[in-house]
Amino acid sequence: MNNTIKKGFYFKSYEAPFQSPFDKLFAIFKELITHTSGDFDEAISWLRELDKEYKLTEPSYTIDDFIDDLKKKGYIREELKEDGTSGVGITAKTERAIRQQALDNIFGNIKKSGSGNHKTKHVGNGDEHTGEFREFHFGDSLERISLTESLRNAQINNGVADFMLTENDLVVEETQYKSQMSTVLMIDISHSMILYGEDRITPAKKVAMALAELITTRYPKDTLDILVFGNDAWRISIHDLPYLKVGPFHTNTVAGLQLAMDLLRRKRNTNKQIFMITDGKPSCVREKDGSYYMNSNGLDQYIVDKCYTQAQQARKLHIPITTFMIASDPYLQKFVNHFTEANQGKAFYTGLKGLGEMIFQDYETNRKKRVK
């Protein structure tokens, strides 16, 4: 009997990968805690409602068991609320888990690397070997000489019997510059980010958390500063992101740009950029006397001109601004077009879907450029 091996495909019903009861609930919990801006009680309340509707748990493992595991694993802790009563809050461990989930969901299968640097297309003194060789030139550092290739040349040119190594035998391996990037991410937290029944702040938070996790794990030599802008602008830390909320604010784009440029002026990196996520028009500026000039009706030319001035100032500092506009109003797109032209930056008109992928792609593209 001839034993033949048949090649082909075998089809079977999809089997979901195994998840423990805790892991299954924890993935949902991380989404809910992001939507509730870190409010544990509200997140658990939503989780209980979802359990009733979709039967997420079994009698052997309930929501209460899940809460106990959260405590044992260090994801939550007892804390005092602002009103003085006791409550439960999430820990830094949970914050990291939320950022990692945001990275996985938004940016896909991006693998971590230990070095955390980006290559550029420029060849020169650096620590990224290209595998290409050239002749030794006066001024090349000794550590760049390829000993193996140089000895091979000496044997070919001079023979083994009369072995000698001359300058003409030396070759060096090319290396590439590795660029570093300083990025400021601006997030609009004006009231319009939750108007018309659409939650726009949560996707913006997820993008910020994913970008923060990407940079800190894959590109640790890069820097990321995050700021929010409403009536004013202020810097927030990565740890503040899960708790970020929209306020009863107008949109002071000028204040955000001024703070972003102040932060970038302090960076030594050559490559600098600003990412701005906004859904509304600029409607507020702060005057020199500390008062606020606000106008939500249409585009106020006084406010708009100040935005153009900031865009031009950033251009002089070689800081490109990439605007991600979560709005489709023609008059707002016209404003963004003029703003982008003044800065010589870029603009994307997008809804909430695909926002994270666009920011990642633009970040990666900009990292390959070396600004001289």
Check residue 121 and give its pLDDT.
35
Share of the chain above pLDDT 90, in %: 53
Check residue 29 and give its pLDDT.
97
The pLDDT tens digits for 258-269 are 999 999 999 987
Check residue 276 and give its pLDDT.
94
Over range 290-305, report the average pLDDT. 95
The pLDDT tens digits for 312-343 are 999 999 999 999 888 778 888 899 999 999 99
* Cα–Cα distance for residue pair 61/51, rounded to 1 Å: 12
The encoded tokens of residue 266 equal 């302090």
Share of the chain above pLDDT 70, in %: 86
Report the 3 state secondary structure along the chain. CCCCCCCCCCCCCCCCCCCCHHHHHHHHHHHHHHHCCCCHHHHHHHHHHHHHHHCCCECCECHHHHHHHHHHCCCEEEEECCCCCEEEEECHHHHHHHHHHHHHHHHCCCCCCCCCCEEEEEEEEEEEEEEEEEECCCCCCHHHECHHHHHHHHHHHHCCCCCCCCHHHCEEEEEEEEECEEEEEEEECCHHHHHHHCCCHHHHHHHHHHHHHHHHHHCCCCEEEEEEECCCEEEECHHHHHHCCCCCCCCCHHHHHHHHHHHHHCCCCCEEEEEEEECCCCCEEECCCCCEEECCCCCCHHHHHHHHHHHHHHHHCCCCEEEEECCCCHHHHHHHHHHHHHHCCEEEECCCCCHHHHHHHHHHHHHCCCCC
The pLDDT tens digits for 207-250 are 899 999 988 988 888 999 999 999 999 999 999 999 999 999 99
Check residue 104 and give its pLDDT.
87
The pLDDT tens digits for 14-71 are 777 888 999 999 999 999 999 999 999 999 999 999 999 999 999 999 999 999 999 9
Check residue 124 and give its pLDDT.
35
Check residue 125 and give its pLDDT.
41
Check residue 313 and give its pLDDT.
97
